[in-house]
Structure 1
Amino acid sequence: MSSRSRRFRRTSRTGLALALPLAALAACGGGGTTASVEAGSGKGTISVWAHQGQKSEDAALQNAVKSFNSSQSGIKVDLKLVPGNDYTKTITATDASKLPDIVEFDGPTMANFVYNKKLAPIDPYVSAKTLANATDASKAQAAIGGKHYGLGMYDSGLGVYGNKKLLDAAGVTYPTGLSDSWTAEQFTAALGALKAKDSDGKPLDLQESGGYANEWGTYGFAPIVWSAGGSLLKDGKATGALDTPAVVSALDTFQSWKTYVDPNTDGNAFAKGRTALSWVGHWMYPAYSEALGDDLVVLPLPDFGNGPKTGQGSWAWGIGADSKNAKAAGAFLDYLLNDANVAAMTTANGAPPATRTALAKSPLYRRGGPLQLFADQLAKPCGDSDITASCIAVTRPVTPGYPVITSKFGEALNSIYGGTDPKSALAKAARAIDQDFSDNAGYKIP
């Protein structure tokens, strides 16, 4: 893995905090929030914690804070950057009364923080205009019981990057958009045709070098489960959702692709032309575009029967449950989520903007832009439960029990990729998830 891709995967704000210890999130509280948040005077100093990302991202955030502080005299923002690899552990270990007025969080951690009484609903404190301008996909990851506990500057997305030159040389016809996505069978057939023209017979990159027993496993390949008509969790249960015959069949197909996969230990399999296809997220576009130029094509993930699907969700901003100046915090969030700041951050990290107005103006994601596919996917959000054939961007389960779900699914996926029978691996994962939910009374949040 190159240093560039390592930054994208581990410490950037581009969508996946893969090194963050989701499993470390403690289910030690629960029973819903009894937040002692207060509106306050709307003036004075407010504290903000954020995770440290790439230098360009940190600079965009620091500039936004500096600009806000100089734009008015009533509120002063005090920003603290916490090393990315320690960030979620830091929030988890800090008592709610010691948390700042504004807390940045990675999307899948939100429900656990609400469960442990560390976040307050933001709806009373941010403007109606700010809420209305947030994309539906971005709001889906931060909503519980009709209340929003955060908003993001950007979202995320998955696709298959293709090398047009290599695809054409192998006579492979590829999708032009979401309406003609490959079926799983067509994708497998394309791999066969590409293998015949590939020097080592390995034309596919699945970002396997770090294994799949991690957040990349869930984010990158839960779309197979959703596209097969299954779910990681349905009505509080994994059994009968994660281990259905259709999901077993889909992951059997996934397992069969291993023979086509370049291990990509150097992180350059696609950029160097060793593979014709790379299954990864939006964050690799800068490196891939630079390497391939006009030969780069962006394709949807294959359809396993319930329509093509993608993961979504990323870092967001919330208000600490014990803040005594939530009105001022809301004013800063309104400012942080304006077009100028969202554009600066998404220019720094290449992620899709999570606000309607910034997305429409984005050179990369607007209509006709090179990454319009990712915007088109996010424009058809499923939320985390109503996963139909017509929606595409699925939110990872919004539940305090998510750390267990991602841990057990990642373990199952990793073992399946290594040769374990998909049926037994998925059944084992589903039982473990259900046992944990039973032990924790379903992680209910009133």
Structure 2
Amino acid sequence: MNISRRSLLLAGGSLAAAATLAACGSNNPLASGTPSEAKPSGATSPNASAPAGGGDVTLQQWYHEYGEAGVKEAVEKYAAAYTAAKVEVKWTPGDYGSILAAQLLTTDVPDVFEVEQGGSLDMIRSGQLADLTDIMAPVKDQFNPAVMKRFTFEDKVHGIPQTIDMQLLYYRPSLLQKAGVEPPKTFADLVKVADAVKSADIGGFFAGNDGGLGVLGTILIWASGNEQLTEDRSAVAFLNDNFYNALTAYRDFYKSAGLLQAASAEWYDGAAFVNGETAMQWGGLWSLPDIQKAWGDDVGVLPFPAIGAGGRPAVPFGAFGACVAAKGKNVDASKEFVKWLWIDQDEDQVDFSNSYGTHIPAKTALVAKADKLAAGPGKDAADFVSNHGFANDIMWSGAMGDAYNAAVSNVIKDGKDPKAEFAAFEATAKTELAKLAG
């Protein structure tokens, strides 16, 4: 599990600004260690591999530190197989986002680097990312459509999706059957099921030691049938009765005995479900191997259920994208390399998603080739992203996320009026969106 990795799936605030939720890899959320200082890309580093491949051009490729064993060796192997240039892989522990941002402000930028959701608005607007639309246009329909929607801004693509992570609801079918209830299809069902399966020994539903507010807050927008922003991104699009009713419905659940509010680990760990502390848990796909090891076939998965009359199922996803520095010394050669690796090399793309933890290949046709996703909960999870996947809008800024989270907390924890609380949020959002409109 890795801090940079966790920020990718943050549902309640800015994907680029916070690093407190969602993860993959090991079960230690701080496994990546402490942030380190950014080094010039040419500096000697114990984390940089020896040059690989061939050709007269040398490219430097940056990755954040993945929590799963074997990823570093795998990406070095991919780079070594490239013959049109030499590729140096730089493995970057610590606060990858901050380190990368600092390096991109220097004159010695990495040629190729991964970025959450294919690039931030700031990176795009400041001209830091090369336009990859020309190499993506012929193959765009091969990639998961929900991911490509998030990777496209003003009809341009600046990153190639590498692999997909997601959140979902785990449940124990045997416990639901014993309680005489069916897997929940709506939020009202979820409340009933949680109350039915809870006992003195096991909780009904767990989504974090904050009662699920951090990870589920933004999901209430999508699950109530809304979008974050209007189509022209000039205003928020969810301040209506369906959303307000979703907030009050979760507030009622927050106070109920069916919601487990304290467990041995956080929601992203999976330990509470593995240890039998809860019959249902909101978690990450990365926990599936440990969960199946513990419970075998007694595992089911679901999207977050529709909430209210206008609702729909929802799952948040995240995908790192391979980007090219627009101000790099070898832009054309870098574009050829990322095309070769993340568009042409299907075998390596499956290996990257399937061999180190459980992730979803970004190309839809490759999902069936990942054996962990071929059947059962893994296959269901992969389908959820295509059918019910959502990600924070590129203009959902950190300031908007903070204001939103505060309003959600005031409504659910403190019992305040939703319309009054979100009137203040709307003012903040209006200011932020006007600022970001450029």
2:419 aligned partner:
423
Alignment of 1:22-421 (within 5 A): 22-23=16-17, 44-54=57-67, 55-68=69-82, 72=83, 74-83=84-93, 85-94=94-103, 95=105, 97-107=107-117, 110-124=120-134, 126=135, 130-174=139-183, 182-195=185-198, 198-199=199-200, 202-208=203-209, 212=213, 217=215, 220-234=216-230, 235-239=232-236, 241-258=237-254, 259=256, 260-262=258-260, 263-267=262-266, 268-304=271-307, 305-337=310-342, 338-347=345-354, 348-366=356-374, 368-380=375-387, 392-399=388-395, 401-421=396-416
In structure 2, relative to structure 1, the CA distance for the partners of 1:170 and 1:266 (3 Å cut) is same
Q: Cα–Cα, structure 1 residues 127 and 415, in superposed 2: closer, same or farther, change >3 Å?
A: closer
> Would the alpha carbon gap of residues 200 and 307 (structure 1) be closer, same or farther in structure 2, given more than 3 Å must change?
same
1:11 is displaced (CA, Å) by 4.7
Is the Cα–Cα contact under 8 Å of residues 203 and 275 in structure 1 kept in the other structure? yes
- List alignment gaps of at least 5 residues for structure 1: 1-6, 26-41, 176-181, 381-391
Matched residue of 1:307: which SS? Answer: coil
CA distance in 2, matches of 1:302, 1:45: 49
Residue 224 and residue 120 in structure 1: after superposition, are their counterparts in 2 closer, same or farther (change >3 A)?
Answer: same
Q: Distance in 2 between matches of 1:271 and 1:59?
A: 29
| Amino acid in structure 2 at the alignment position of 1:376 | D
* Alpha-carbon separation, structure 2, partners of 1:326 and 1:131: 21
183-192 or 204-213, larger mean C-alpha shift: 204-213
Q: TM-score, normalised by structure 1?
A: 0.78
SS for the counterpart of 1:91 is helix
TM-score (norm 2): 0.79
Letter in 1 for 2:404: F
* C-alpha displacement of 1:201: 7.0
Q: Compute the displacement of 1:167 (Å).
A: 1.0
Aligned counterparts, 1:425-440, within 5 A: 425-438=421-434, 440=435
Q: Distance in 2 between matches of 1:152 and 1:135?
A: 9
Percent identity of paired positions between Structure 1 and Structure 2: 22
Q: Which runs of 5+ in 2 are unaligned?
A: 20-54
* Cα 1:354/1:144, change in 2 over 3 Å: same
Name which structure has the greater RCO, CA cutoff 8 Å, separation 6+.
Answer: 1
| C-alpha spacing 1:56/1:12, structure 2 compared with 1 (3 Å) | farther
